[in-house]
Amino acid sequence: MGERRPRWENEMLGGAPIPDDIVCKTCAFKMPDVVVRGRTVKRHSYGSCEVYSDPYRKPTEIIFDGAECKYYEKE
């Protein structure tokens, strides 16, 4: 019998998601959604975009406090 995996393994797809009310979801610089293990990942909610790409991440003020982003452009 296979080893049981934790329930959160299916919920987490590569990092802790950011609240979905982030302004980035309507930004022209957001990354496109992708499908991982059969689930759609809204990449705008993971701290990177065309402006803030790895290894640099969006400032925590934007991600968690709802601060405005100086690069925001409505799509």
- The pLDDT tens digits for 15-74 are 555 666 778 889 999 989 889 888 888 887 777 889 987 777 888 888 778 888 999 999
Distance of alpha carbon 50 from its chain centroid, rounded?
A: 12
Distance between CA atoms of residues 48 and 55, nearest Å? 9
- Residue 7 carries which DSSP code? T
pTM reported for the whole predicted model: 0.65
Answer for the pair 68, 58: CB distance below 8 angstroms, yes or no: no
Distances in Å between the Cα of 20 and the Cα atoms of 1, 2, 6, 47, 64 are 38, 35, 24, 11, 10
Q: Where are the domains of the chain?
A: 8-65
